[in-house]
Each structure stands twice: as structure tokens, then as C-alpha cells.
Amino acid sequence: MASDKTIRYPTSAARQEYERNRRKLLANEDVCAICGQPVDKTLPASDLMSAAIDHIIPVSKGGDPVALENLQLTHRKCNRRKSDKLPSVRAPEKPAADIRPEEWESW
């Protein structure tokens, strides 16, 4: 039986768009959007403080998997801690980078 919740997996074109947006974030951002500390992009991916790309609204909760507006630079550790949580309160004019961990639901 199919689930009512369907996760969209990117097509080849969508994957290319995601990779372009990922490169833009890595080139233009230097601070973790969750903890506010600098991100060392030279660390290997296995390091918990390495750069990771987070979906602000998780794909599992209906977030767009490729839109630049739904992506943010984080530390791998911060991204794992956030998991699939949503911001509990978000003013429309408040940029995602200003949302701190204490503002995520069930943190």
C-alpha cells in the first residue's frame, strides 16, 4: 500500500540544479546557518565540522529539494542535530541564516 507522504527524488535535471545551488552556497557562504560559527570548507566530509548543505524545510516535510531558497550552509554536526525539524516560528522577513537552534521545534 502506498504512503500518503511521498518524498520527491530529483530527476537528472533537478540534481544538476541542486549541484549548481550547492556550489553557489559553498562559494558565497562561510558561516553555519544553524550555529553561526565559521565553516571550514577544507575539512574532509567525514569530519563533523565539515561543510554540509541543509534543507531549511526538510524534503520529508514538503520542502523543495533543489531550490536555493530552501538550502543553507551548515556544519555536518549541526545539520545532523537539526535532522528533519522545522522552524517553529519564522517571520517572513527573517532570513534563514538568522534562525538559531533554540528556534527549531523539538530541539
Query: Is 75 a member of any domain?
Result: yes
Tell me the percentage of the chain whose pLDDT exceeds 90. 64
Alpha-carbon torsion 45, 48, 49, 51, what sign?
A: positive
Q: What is the mean pLDDT of residues 84-100?
A: 59
Is the model more confident about 86 or about 24?
Answer: 24
The kind and range of the H/E element at 83 are: none
> What is the pTM for the complete model shown?
0.72
Q: At 97, is the pLDDT very low, low, confident or very high (cuts 50, 70, 90)?
A: low
Q: Is residue 7 a part of any domain in this protein?
A: no
Domain annotation covers residue 66: yes
> Under a CB-based contact definition with an 8 Å cutoff, are residues 102 and 78 in contact?
no
Domains held by the chain: number: 1
Look-up of cell digits 542535530: 81
Domain coverage including residue 55: 12-87+95-103
